[in-house]
Amino acid sequence: MEDIQVLVCDDSALMRNLIGRIIDETCGMAVCAKAENGEDLLEKLNTVKPDVILLDIEMPKMNGVEFLKKRKERNIKVPVIILSSVATEGAAVTMECLSLGASDFITKPGASSVTLKIGDVSKDIIEYVAAYGGAYAAVSGKKVYDADFFAHQIKLKQAEKAVLAKKGEDAAKAASITANDVLPTTWFQQKPKEAVVIKPEREGGKIDIIAIGISTGGPNALRDVFKAIDPNLKQPILVVQHMPAGFTKEFAASLDAICPLTVTEAVDGEPILDGHVYIAPGGYHMFVEHRPLGNFIKLSQDAPRNGHRPSCDVLFESVAKIFMNHSLGVIMTGMGRDGAAELAEMRKKGAWTLGQDKESSIVYGMPKVGFELGGVQKQVPLANMAEEISKLAKEHLIA
């Protein structure tokens, strides 16, 4: 197996070294170069061939936005993951970066706490490098480990941190696990499972609501879906995209700019309107509450589910309970299994369901588990997802 090659670009030497250590100490990936700014990065690309670039935004000489414009001009195909600050300004610029072709983003800790908090984002770094870098490497003809191999390492690292915390040692010491901790000989790829066959309790009825759950690879996948969605679609759409607090309002605004429907960040207690898209706020679960006067958005900060808040399972669970066979559930690209169990529950209740197919998923995790549990009626390529959602919504608008 070959390593996923990573180029780290950040004007902070400390950040370059800390991120570089996480990558180099993860079996299956390696740092091929480091750059101080966009100009240095363009220079490095003349001599190295990374599979993915981790890019800071605020840098001297040439910042991240300027580099992305140059990348587009020069038709550089290497995927870019933004290293973003959590500030409101950072959120707005991050969404601009996505519109310029960046694949996704990771929030990095502030300068004052970087050495203590870098371990907290190591999971995201490994996951996103594995997803985007792995996909690009595979397309380039390399043989690299799949996302499950890196997910296995993340679990071991989290277990190591938990043990150190119980011993009273500094959790920051567990920022990375070494390649010696997880050798290829200890990894056994699970065989594909036969999909469970679910016999719904009732036939599919009219579609009154659409619920979408999505994670890694989601920002650009949702851009593709919502810019092509039917402008005459009548049903409301509720979306859980795994995204940190502070970014979902700007993300909703960026989708609203390209979507023929109105897209907003969901607000607790607001009525659910037809033809409106609601994005779950980062840090909050989103679910539906039925009242005599209609259906309303509810938000909560209950404990994370499947490691996530917002959780796709929380949304799907409420839709299954309230709407049963009068709903459409969609599970898309993402690592892990969030949303899979409750999508299967939606299917049991008679809901219509779709899952993104393996070939078009950045990470075929959530949709794979959803399919294996019998929750997916039909697997759909990303390029056809908007058309398929629109078609089902139109066909089943009335009873």
Sheet containing 327-331: which strands, arranged edge to edge?
Answer: 262-265, 276-279, 237-241, 209-214, 327-331, 352-356, 378-380
Among 80, 130, 112, residue whose Cα is nearest residue 14: 112
- Number of DSSP helices (H) and strands (E) in the chain, helices first: 13, 14
User: How crowded is residue 53: how many other Cβ atoms within 10 Å of its Cβ?
Assistant: 27
3-state SS, residue 54? strand
3-state SS, residue 97? helix
Q: Dihedral of CA 27/33/36/37: which sign?
A: negative
Q: Are 10 and 37 in contact (CB under 8 A)?
A: no
User: How crowded is residue 141: how many other Cβ atoms within 10 Å of its Cβ?
Assistant: 7
Q: How many Å apart are CA 220 and CA 359, to the nearest integer?
A: 16
- For 82, the token pair is 């933004």
Q: Dihedral of CA 63/67/70/72: which sign?
A: negative
Per the listing, tokens 């089902």 go with 392
**Residues classed as catalytic:** 215, 242, 338
Among 384, 26, 364, 17, residue whose Cα is nearest residue 183: 26
- For 175, the token pair is 């920022």
